Amino acid sequence: MSDEEDISGPPPSARGRRQSVCAEPFNPNAVEDEDTPKVVNPKTDEQRTRLQNALKRLFLFKRLDMEQTSEVMDAMFERKVTAEEKVIEQGDDGDNFYVIDGGKFDIFVNEKNVGSYNEEGSFGELALMYNTPRAASIVATTDATIWGLDRATFRRIMLVAAFKKRKMYEEFLETVPIFSSLERYERMTLADGLYSEKFSDGATIITQGEEADKFYLVERGEVSIKMQKDDDVKEVAHLQKGGYFGELALVTKKERAASAYAVGDVTLACLDVGAFERLLGPCMDIMKRNFTNYEEQLVKIFGTSLNLTDVRT
Ligand code: CMP
Ligand code: CMP
């Protein structure tokens, strides 16, 4: 996707709903709220260290340069929350974006509990990104500490980075069969963690026997999976757009079971192991079920069982 692509408009789930009174169209190429004064909330060294640690884990912050990061850190403010406090009410206009320092929270959409946050993560970006009412309620289930970022600073500094990534991968992720069980919001947060890598024809993407550190989705092109057994090397799978690989070693915590090679020019969407474990929980059962297919495949190809896994729980 080019940087100039129009990425305006609310997400499909918010379309057709009541727009907040302050709905403004979003033009990512215009510098937004340029004239808003810089916000500075002074912090102690101890607070800065805590804030830095909370931000380090968030994908939305990884794309900011040093100056942007420091401006965001200056603007953030600490907020103590008590158990059962509602931090965000679904339907309200968006004021702040929040990053969790510590504590647990439940997420409710139309009064139904759809998930939770456990000691880390962020929330409250949707209403600020799309100028829509809050899409969910967030309720603390323990005493907690969060860091707030005001709407103007969020839009001025973080909006473009946040939009680009989600928009770039959103359509692609909708076409990936393994993710059809994910909710739309889960696909968005998955997009935050993805990054693309390119390989030219014949390049080795992963090598059988090596340690595993990431998971791959085929965005463009084709990938040949080949396995060596004794002196025999055979193609065990041939993947196209929407296919995935590299999950087996991450799940079994074993070495790579096969090698992967680019067929023609290939673009892959990658997810590091930590994000894989955190974000793909809902797909894990489907992936694990597929391990049986791998084993059956190998029996057909090599005429013997290879016992790839002992993790089917
Ligand atoms: P926002 O709409 O600004 O306020 C509520 C927040 O809840 C939302 O941004 C997201 O950050 C977060 N959230 C977590 N899970 C969901 C979900 N399934 N749907 C919508 N929002 C969610
Ligand atoms: P991993 O072991 O991490 O790296 C090699 C990948 O090849 C593996 O994960 C699977 O994603 C993929 N693969 C495709 N077909 C097979 C198969 N029949 N046996 C093992 N791995 C396979």
Residue 309 C-alpha to ligand 2 middle, in angstroms? 11
Ligand nearest to the CA of 186: 1
pTM reported for the whole predicted model: 0.84
pLDDT tens digit sequence for 216-237 = 999 999 999 999 999 999 999 9
Supply the pLDDT for residue 16: 40
Q: pLDDT tens-digit profile of 161-213?
A: 788 889 889 889 999 999 988 999 999 999 999 999 999 999 999 999 999 99
218 lines ligand 2 (CB under 6 A): no
Does 258 contact ligand 2 (Cβ within 6 A)? yes
Would you say the CB of residue 205 lies under 6 angstroms from ligand 2? Answer: no
Give the position, in ligand 1's atom list, of the atom nearest the Cα of 186: 18
Which is the closest atom of ligand 1 to the Cα of 97?
3
Question: Token pair of 152, please?
Answer: 């103007």
CA distances, 274 to each of 39, 219, 229 (Å): 33, 21, 30
Amino acid at 214: K
Range from 31-35, 59-63, 182-186, 297-301 carrying the lowest mean pLDDT: 31-35
Hey, which of 294, 306, 311 would you mutate to test ligand 2's pocket, going by the most ligand atoms within 8 Å of its Cβ?
Answer: 294
> How distant is the alpha carbon of residue 301 from its chain centre?
36
Q: Which bound ligand lies closest to the C-alpha atom of 291?
A: 2
| Digit-coded pLDDT (tens) for 1-41 | 333 344 445 554 443 444 443 444 455 444 455 567 899 99
Residue 126 in this model has a pLDDT that exceeds 50? yes
109 lines ligand 1 (CB under 6 A): yes
Which residues are CB-contacts of 274 (< 8 A; sequence separation ≥ 6)?
Answer: none
Q: Which atom of ligand 2 is the closest one to the Cα of 256? A: 2
d(CA 76, CA 43): 9
The CA-atom distances, in angstroms, between 219 and each of 99, 143, 197, 216 are 31, 42, 10, 9
pLDDT above 60 for 122: yes
Ligand nearest to the CA of 236: 2
- State the distance from the centre of ligand 2 to the C-alpha of 295, rounded, in angstroms: 10
- Evaluate: CB of 217 within 6 angstroms of ligand 2: no
Helix 66-75, helix 45-56: angle, nearest 10: 120
Question: What is the structure's pLDDT at 310?
Answer: 60
The pLDDT tens digits for 248-278 are 999 999 999 999 999 999 999 999 999 999 8
Tell me the CA–centroid distance for residue 51 and ligand 1, in Å: 21
Could you tell me if 69 and 56 are in contact, meaning their C-beta atoms sit under 8 angstroms apart? no
206 lines ligand 2 (CB under 6 A): yes
Q: How far apart are CA 237 and CA 15, in angstroms?
A: 40
Ligand 2 near 291 CB (within 6 A)? no
